[in-house]
Amino acid sequence: MSVARSSTTDPCQDPKRAKVAAQLVVRFSDEDKMGTIQPHDDALVITLRIGGYDVKRVMVDQGSAVEIMYPDLYKGLGLKPQDLTPYNSPLVSFEGRVVTSKGQIRLPMQTGSEVVEVDFVVVDVYSPYTTIVARPWLHALGAVSSTLHQKVKYPSEGQVYEIQEDQSAARQCLMAAIQHEPEAESSSRAEKGL
């Protein structure tokens, strides 16, 4: 996980007021695009510390209201069905299908020195990602994400920190998703001799 400090305090503030309450401005500029392949339309994929482990292939989706955990991470963390609590709200997949969850689990997610308790909904469907983090995590951290700049920035301890992307992992995940053939389709094709 790459967390870097960025000096983005507001230089226009009155120094007397700065002592009372330091205002941090979280912003992105063209400099934030340095080191990324531009132009692009890649997802924002990062590494985060979840449940005490560095977890790769974490997709940041500010359009989602629920953090999702997929089977690879569930098994990798050594979780068992008895670790889950019920989650009864329906979820809709990217394909528009209703997905039934296996349950929900609360785990600590660490970003730098900040730790946020996150409720993950566990689903047993294929994904090239290990998990999707969404608005609840972003809001709890006070973070702002930018797919264009391939970064997440958040205030902590009077400074603005940033989490770097893994653009190559985002592209690998996209290729894996494109090449993945759903089980129902592949078994149907096998039966037809295709």
**Per-residue pLDDT at 98:** 87
Q: How many Cα atoms sit within 13 Å of 60 on the Cβ side?
A: 25
* 143 within 8 A of 154, measured Cβ to Cβ: yes
In a domain, 19, yes or no: no
In a domain, 12, yes or no: no
Which has the closest alpha carbon to 108: 58, 168, 51, 36?
51
In a domain, 11, yes or no: no
Q: Which residues contact 151 (CB under 8 A, 6 or more apart)?
A: 28, 32, 44, 145, 162, 163, 164, 165
pLDDT tens digits in sequence order for the chain, 194 residues long: 455 555 444 444 445 434 434 578 899 999 999 999 999 999 999 999 999 999 999 999 998 999 999 999 999 999 999 999 999 888 887 777 888 899 999 999 999 899 999 999 999 988 999 999 999 999 999 999 999 999 999 999 889 999 988 888 888 988 998 898 776 444 443 444 33
In a domain, 133, yes or no: yes
Q: Is the pTM of this model over 0.75?
A: yes
Distance in angstroms (rounded) separating the CA atoms of residues 92 and 98: 5
Residue 161 maps to which CATH number? 2.40.70.10
In a domain, 193, yes or no: no
Number of domains in the chain: 1
**Per-residue pLDDT at 7:** 46
**Per-residue pLDDT at 29:** 92
In a domain, 147, yes or no: yes
Range of the domain at 100: 36-180
Tokens matching residue 65? 């209201």
In a domain, 54, yes or no: yes
**Per-residue pLDDT at 189:** 38
In a domain, 4, yes or no: no
**Per-residue pLDDT at 69:** 96
